[in-house]
Amino acid sequence: MLLHSYVLEAGTTPISYFPIVLQLIMALVFVGGVMIATHLLGPKRKGSDKLENFECGIQSQGNARQPMAINYFLTAILFVLFDVEVIFFYPYAVNFKILGWAGFWEMVLFVAFFFAGFFYIIRKGALNWRD
């Protein structure tokens, strides 16, 4: 009777979560142990060479804070626009029979918003690459 009070809805007992808790504890101990071991066993080199930027073995020249063309950012917005479209079309394609006409009109509204954003980006000249 005492054991029955600990049984959860799915028919599991708290002891059935022991392997998950044990695996979590072992993972934390392993990660912590490796971090401590690398800190204690790793080389300790301090100097100006360690503070320099390193980029593919090429010495850096000039300021890294140069302005970048806005076309890169507009292309990123286009990518996000198309990516979001695919993410929302997939669940509709899988469940279109269940969603019925209400789901169809919601997808038409989504496509209208999508095209509004797409035409806005075209009007701003995101596809016209200039040097």
Domain span at residue 30? Answer: 1-45
List the pLDDT tens digit at each of the 131 positions of the chain: 455 555 555 567 888 889 999 999 999 999 999 999 999 998 887 777 777 766 676 766 777 677 777 777 777 877 887 787 888 888 888 988 898 999 899 999 988 988 888 888 788 777 777 65
Read off the pTM. 0.41
DSSP state of 93: H
Q: Does residue 82 share a domain with residue 25?
A: no
Domain assignment of residue 52, yes or no: no
Enter the tokens of residue 71: 């076309």
Domain assignment of residue 55, yes or no: no
**Closest listed residue to residue 127, CA positions, set 87, 83, 70, 67:** 70
Domain assignment of residue 59, yes or no: no
| Dihedral, 8, 14, 19, 22 alpha carbons, nearest 10 | 140
Q: Does residue 2 share a domain with residue 34?
A: yes
Domain assignment of residue 90, yes or no: yes
Q: Does residue 130 share a domain with residue 70?
A: yes
DSSP state of 58: B
pLDDT number for residue 10: 59
Domain assignment of residue 58, yes or no: no
DSSP state of 62: S
How many distinct structural domains can be found in the chain? 2
Domain assignment of residue 39, yes or no: yes
pLDDT number for residue 81: 76
pLDDT number for residue 38: 93
What does residue 22 show for φ and ψ, rounded to 5 degrees?
-65, -40
Q: Does residue 82 share a domain with residue 36?
A: no
